[in-house]
Amino acid sequence: MEIRSEGSIARVRSWATDLEENTMQQALRSARCDAVSGPIALMPDAHFGLGATVGSVIPTESAIIPAAVGVDIGCGMIAVKTDVEAAHLPDNLGPTLREIGRAIPAGFNRHQHPTKSADTWVGHNKLETEVELTTKQHRGVAQQLGTLGGGNHFVEVCLDEADQVWAVLHSGSRGIGNVLARNHIERAKELCRDLERALEDRDLAYFLDSDDGFQAYIRDMLWAQEYALENREQMMNSLLGVLGGQLGRPIRELARINCHHNYTARERYGDRDLWITRKGAIRAGFGELGVIPGSMGTNTYIVAGLGNPQSYQSAAHGAGRRFGRNEAKRRFSAAQLTEAMQGRTWQQSKADQLVDESPMAYKDIDVVMENQSDLVEIRHTLHAIVNYKGTK
């Protein structure tokens, strides 16, 4: 579906059948921004976000909108298909959940003493930024590498349709990505204000490639994307170590997929090189594998892209929120979440802290998948048997 704003050529291509009015209006505001170089693609999980809509794909040619990338630069998913079958797993998965919690710090926790792999990566990938960081923030770069965070980030052990075990997790660039993103968002706002660039929404402030701040943002953004990718890699290695320890043998990987869903990349469409910003969207080039989670209590999908140029070879990143966190806490109870999580091993004793992540707070992942049948094909459907999240 193509949406046009009255009196404007700006338009949005939408795959969403469950779309709130404020989300549509926000997408149209983004499409009218002078920095945008073509139609915006709105994914079926789209919902209202900061500045740009979560679940949107935004093309720009000579500009970049930091808030469209978001504050969790490089956030994404990683999934590993293992050689373990359901029959090999212990009947009681409680110890597995506890060991995951020991191996992967979550919430506000970090490695008090950075792991060797974290120190090695940071040493080989030094952050050279113009952003002034505190001593604590500098230390946190290594201390938070290999840690989960909170919110909708999670670790899961899943079974596919053949009862094969998969390890899955969701996380991003942690505190350092947030600090870098917010700093550049504010710099872009100041620049647009000083140069009197017209903006319907200040959060759509942008850098042109001729601006002093452009290259500084691109450098920090690309570093943060690599940091997020490595963060998921290190946590996955820890998770596989836990599974191997529980089974008493090393885990053999049959496939590994690691994909961003909050990022931008330079890509060619037609005769133009564009920055394609995916805020809550994955790249879905033809045959390209991706991971699309639902929410606590619902399925995760392993997909292959169909390379649809109308969506800039993109697809949804998940179910998408229906209710904000505060609204979800008002609407739903710990008892309802517990009912939805039947059959899974999870942090049930902390259900009251996880109510805002209830599946009822999200859109229906199966509707999302149906709406994007021309963007991806489903290769595997994963059902979680262990779920671990950051809590207080």
The one-digit pLDDT tens for each residue of the chain (392 residues) are 665 554 445 589 999 998 999 999 999 999 999 999 999 999 999 999 987 999 999 999 999 999 999 999 999 999 999 999 999 999 999 999 999 999 999 998 999 899 999 999 999 999 999 999 999 999 999 999 999 999 999 999 999 999 999 999 999 999 999 999 999 999 999 999 999 999 999 999 999 999 999 999 999 999 999 999 999 999 999 999 999 999 999 999 999 999 999 999 999 998 999 999 999 999 999 999 999 999 998 999 999 999 999 999 999 999 999 999 999 999 999 999 999 999 999 999 999 999 999 999 999 999 999 999 999 999 999 999 999 999 87
CB-based burial label for 51 (10 Å; 0-12, 13-18, 19+)? buried
**What is the rounded distance in angstroms from the CA atom of residue 134 to the CA atom of residue 137?**
5
DSSP 297: T
**What is the rounded distance in angstroms from the CA atom of residue 126 to the CA atom of residue 390?**
28
Q: Which pTM does this prediction carry?
A: 0.95
Q: Which among 220, 382, 241 is positioned nearest to 300, based on CA atoms?
A: 382
**What is the rounded distance in angstroms from the CA atom of residue 40 to the CA atom of residue 51?**
14
Single-letter amino acid code for the residue at 345: T
- Structure-block tokens of residue 375: 């963007």
Dihedral sign (CA 262, 268, 270, 275)? positive
* CATH code for the structural domain at 2-322+362-389: 3.90.1860.10
- Structure-block tokens of residue 240: 């596989």
Give backbone dihedrals phi and psi of 187, rounded to 5 degrees, phi first. Answer: -65, -40
Total Cβ atoms within 10 A of residue 210: 8
C-alpha distance from residue 157 to each of 168, 212, 344 (Å): 6, 45, 10
Using DSSP's 3-state secondary structure scheme, residue 53 falls into coil
61 near 34, Cβ under 8 Å? no
Question: Strands 253-260 and 76-85: what pairing?
Answer: antiparallel
Give backbone dihedrals phi and psi of 295, rounded to 5 degrees, phi first. Answer: -155, 180
C-alpha distance from residue 138 to each of 144, 222, 345 (Å): 10, 18, 36
**What is the rounded distance in angstroms from the CA atom of residue 185 to the CA atom of residue 173?**
16
Q: Which helix (H) or strand (E) holds 182?
A: helix 174-194
- Structure-block tokens of residue 3: 């949406």
Question: Which residue numbers are catalytic?
Answer: 317
- Structure-block tokens of residue 228: 């997020």
**What is the rounded distance in angstroms from the CA atom of residue 262 to the CA atom of residue 75?**
5
Token match 């209202």: residue?
Answer: 48
**What is the rounded distance in angstroms from the CA atom of residue 358 to the CA atom of residue 333?**
9
DSSP 290: E
Using DSSP's 3-state secondary structure scheme, residue 138 falls into helix
Token match 């399925």: residue?
Answer: 299
314 near 284, Cβ under 8 Å? yes
166 near 382, Cβ under 8 Å? yes
**pLDDT confidence of residue 8:** 46
C-alpha distance from residue 148 to each of 29, 225, 244, 333 (Å): 33, 15, 20, 25
Q: Is 107 left (phi over 0), alpha (psi -120 to 50) or beta?
A: left
- Inter-helix orientation angle 135-143/174-194, to 10°: 130
CB-based burial label for 273 (10 Å; 0-12, 13-18, 19+)? exposed
215 near 231, Cβ under 8 Å? no
